[in-house]
Amino acid sequence: MSTSIKEITGIYHSKTEHEEGNIFNPKLEECSLDINRFAGGINGTMLQLTICNNNDGYIMFTEDKIKDLIKVLTKAFDTSVYPSD
């Protein structure tokens, strides 16, 4: 059994085929990230992050990996921790 936790909306670059051939043009589209909690068997309770209603995929994390992700995301905008090239 799974529990829906939250849906977060953002944008991404999709590729659309040009009318005259196979030239792909990036296009900004709205997309959601769905967060669901579920029983992960031997891994214990896990979270699944699903992008764009599963059209592009999903990833599953244990609680320890989510804690690592939280640490990275908390500092992601800090250029002294992660300087830009």
Q: Which residue has the tokens 């992050």?
A: 49
Tens place of pLDDT per residue across the chain (85 aa): 899 999 999 998 776 655 556 666 677 889 899 999 999 899 999 999 999 877 668 999 999 999 999 999 999 999 999 999 8
Query: E strand or H helix at 75, and its extent?
Result: helix 63-75
Rounded Cα distance between 35 and 60, Å, is: 10
Give the pLDDT score at 9: 96
Rounded Cα distance between 32 and 10, Å, is: 6
Give the pLDDT score at 19: 55
Give the pLDDT score at 10: 94
| Beta carbons of 52 and 32 less than 8 angstroms apart | yes
Specify the pTM.
Answer: 0.76
